[in-house]
Structure 1
Amino acid sequence: MPLSPAEAARRQARNSAAFWTATGLARGHPLIHRPGFLAVAGDQRAGLRILIQEPVLGAPELAEIATLTREAPGPVNAEDPFSATDLGHLGLRNWQMPIMLRTPGATPTPAMPIIRVRDEPALHAAERVVLDGFDLTRFEPYRAGEFFPMPLLGRPGVDVFLAYLDGTPAGACVTVTADGFGSHYWVATPAAHRSRGVGRAIMLGSLAPLAHLPVTLTASRLGRPLYESLGFTATTSSTWWSSR
């Protein structure tokens, strides 16, 4: 059955927290757990990541978020799937993206090779694809294993996928399974490989192991048509906040 907007937001919040917990632990960054939010206190390049977990935060939690934001050594990014917490007073810009849901179902075979990453060379290739695809220049000069450390592959429920086009790494993404739901992160195709079916292929390949589960994701404006063609439906909007 379709989720209500409130339940879709909660599911996305919980899965995002699972993903960023795994990422923070793999990178060795401190985690700050509160009833209303999770924060991953990264370094100057990774920055501070805040995951809002409830539609209403108490005054002490809001004050702590403000302190973390002021003291962050790098960029600040916050995700509020409930679109209920105003962080504008912290000098952060904001935008909205739809939370999308796909009900369980099989997927066609991708049109190009897709692998589930198992080793360090493939993980480094996926890392470069994501850094290039999202134009994350703050991670330059490149340090292998900084963005996707090898321990990430050992975190429960986390998988990294890599697409090859003409033998070259051309697309990548991360999936996280938690509490009976899957979700996608860092779905990326570098500019040199776009408009060649790579995005569809990496989604199909990564959805196949999740065919028995409902899957959520937060879609960019450009990505939404692809996700809709794969059976995802927008349920509600998530608000994102950033210092850049």
Structure 2
Amino acid sequence: MNDLQLANKNGAAFWRALGRARGYELIERPGFLAALDPVRNGLRVVLTSAEPPAADLAELTELLKSRSWPRVTVEDPYGVVAPSLTPQQWPVMIRPPAPVPAPTVEVVHVRTEAQLAEVDKVVVEGFPLPHFQPYGSAAAVPPALLTTPGFDAYLIAVDGQWAAAGATVTQDDVAGIYFVTTRPEFRGQGLARQLMYAVLRQLDPLPVTLTAAEPAQRLYNSLGFKTIAQSTWWSS
């Protein structure tokens, strides 16, 4: 399995875990995984094969037009689809095992539902995720994830307030990093770097993958992540 396949496998594992925890309907085929939420998150698809069967592509086309989804996102790291949606490209990155410094602030490894609720709040406000606002109307990072095998979450506090958060999914021979964010009022303090130090030390000796939003790409490059592909995210 090459690096892109490893990264894509983990991305599908993340959405499988998140979809189950949120109570979404899941459809899994050889060529794609889809999480369906007609109320809030809409249709979220991860293409999982560079050569999806024709039947899978036909089913995906039907899914896209079958309902009036509140949101649609189709993540295609292989460049095999071109739906009538708006494309954006994000780098898929991977990092081989390597030492990193110890964090210089306390990074809390989440163990309780109360702590995970704080992760949810930081993620909803930090990204932000407007379809999960106002905070508390639904959980973007639901309590069921706490008992999901391979899922872990982390928090950093500043002056008694939860300021930064992130999560990981470990499956088999690779780990993925997701939801890394800092609340707006705490940005510029290097908290994302401190969080990454703690997470990478926790995940050692596995290779680690992520898909990087543009503001964070310089940080990830400095931590040893290398771009292996440009994934197209088609969204409504």
The answer to whether TM tops 0.5 is yes
Give the one of 60, 81, 89 matched to 2:77.
81
- TM superposition shift of 1:43: 3.5
Q: Percent identity?
A: 40
Equivalent position to 2:168, from 156, 160, 175: 175
Q: Is the 8 A contact 2:124 2:135 kept in 1?
A: no
CA distance in 2, matches of 1:204, 1:145: 30
Q: Normalising by the residue count of structure 1, what TM-score does the alignment of the two structures yield?
A: 0.91
Residue aligning to 1:196: 189
The letter for the 1-side match of 2:15 is W
Contact 1:99 1:218 survives alignment (8 Å)? yes
Q: Which runs of 5+ in 2 are unaligned?
A: none
* Amino acid of the structure 2 residue aligned with 1:30: E
1:108 is matched with 101
Q: 5 Å matches for 1:200-215? A: 200-215=193-208
Instruction: Supply the RMSD in Å over aligned alpha carbons.
Output: 1.5
1:166 to 140, 159, 174: 159
Residue equivalent to 2:16: 21
String of CA shifts for 1:20-60, please: whole Å, max 9, x gaps. Answer: 11111111111101000000112321221101000122332
Q: How many residues align?
A: 235
The residue matched to 1:74 in structure 2 has which SS? coil
1:37 aligns with 2:32: yes
Q: 2:128 aligns with which of 107, 119, 135?
A: 135
Letter in 2 for 1:231: G
Preserved contact between residue 112 and residue 165 of structure 1 (Cα < 8 Å): no
Partner SS state of residue 17, structure 2: helix
1:124 touches 1:144 (CA, 8 Å); kept in 2? Answer: no
Aligned to 1:3: none
Aligned twin of 1:154: 147
